[in-house]
Amino acid sequence: MATPGSHHHHCKVGCLVCMMSCSLTKDYCGSLCEKSVRMNFALIYELLDEMVDYGYIQTTSTDILKNFIQTEAVTSKPFSLFDLSNVGLFGAETQQSKVAPSTAATRPIMSHRSEQGGKNEIFVDVVERLSVVIGSNGVLMKADVEGEIRVKCYLPTCSEMRIGLNEEFSIGRSQLRGYGTAVRVDECSFHQAVKLDEFDTYRILKVCPSQGEQTLMQYQLSDELPCAPPFRLFPTVEKDYGSRYTDCDLPTALNVSVTVPVPKGSLSLSQELSSPDQTAELQLKNKAILWSIPRFPGGAQLSALFKVEVPSLSSASLLEVGPVSMSFELPKQTCTGLQIRFLRLSPTQPGMSQRWVRYVTHSDSYTIRI
């Protein structure tokens, strides 16, 4: 059993790590705020991984850590193509300045611990985070998408890479192109290394990729969803029992979890689930049922019947049920419809160079009111 003294010591260590992490994050990212942490999550995780080993601090030196950190810092100040004229857009004053320590240029091209092991590969990931609120009547009340294009480069030589996006890609409502098939976003910002001279006309991004990972482009779509929400939930709550029924409108979703708040004082849970791979548990600490579905086939309908024992149940207790929240991962999907039309490398890579383009949508906040 831990003594008060040892617990106090652990708190000290935790605070020390926290303060050092804040300092290092500022060194690498320039500022410490929610947005910069979100944009540089991979970098911060990598810093912590190198700094702490099995709970013990290994080093807090920026000069030492820079030799192992492969992820590029992304600045938190976005700019909008919609708000800027083309004259200023490509000028130095509108480009985001990289706020990495000046010694970062001396980093080795690739860490000896790289998971790719020097393979002749390049990965382009289109990652979107979806925030949705659906009313109790099933009407979509809020829908926001935040997305980014990440490049992970493990090529020995690559002077330039050209990434072609949807030709009907538009930024802001005034730039709408085509009839009905356009992919639209509200705001868009780019890494300072991206050349945009072919973007306005041909929707092509040009960049000389550095070894490791870079976020080339970030975009946002607010209060609009071009497609139907991926999940619909049809909850019913009754005093004798409560049930949950949900269906998926997209191809297979992975790692789906449904959290259903229950009245305080809930004691036990009995359940009837529609497939054997599902699980459900009553989390007394969080006062919620967690319904887990590892794999949710597209177009499927899954149901669950939950019975919760609640002593002295009242009408007010029923109001504590909900809202329901979901988390999930949608591989091979983008909610905005953004696609990589082509990926060309210059000069042509010798031998076999593999190019991988991947799409994934994650839930950021997906809430259904009851």
**Closest among 150, 36, 145 to 364, alpha carbons compared:** 145
Is residue 324 pLDDT above 80, yes or no? yes
Handedness of CA 17, 19, 23, 25 (dihedral sign): positive
Q: What span, in angstroms and rounded, lies between the C-alpha atoms of 186 and 11?
A: 44
Spatial contact of 182 and 168, defined as CB atoms under 8 Å apart: yes
Q: What span, in angstroms and rounded, lies between the C-alpha atoms of 296 and 31?
A: 40
Q: 137 is written with which tokens? A: 């009547």
Q: Please compute the mean of the pLDDT values over residues 129-147 and round it to a whole number.
A: 92
Collapsing DSSP to helix, strand or coil, 102 comes out as: helix
Tens digit of each residue's pLDDT (9 = 90 or more) over 282-322: 998 888 989 999 998 888 888 888 888 888 777 777 777 87
Q: How many CB atoms lie within 10 A of CB 86?
A: 10
Name the pTM for this structure: 0.65
Q: What span, in angstroms and rounded, lies between the C-alpha atoms of 169 and 148?
A: 14
Largest CA distance in the chain: 74
Q: 155 is written with which tokens? A: 């090529």
Looking at residue 284, its pLDDT comes to 87
Tens digit of each residue's pLDDT (9 = 90 or more) over 29-45: 666 777 677 667 676 76
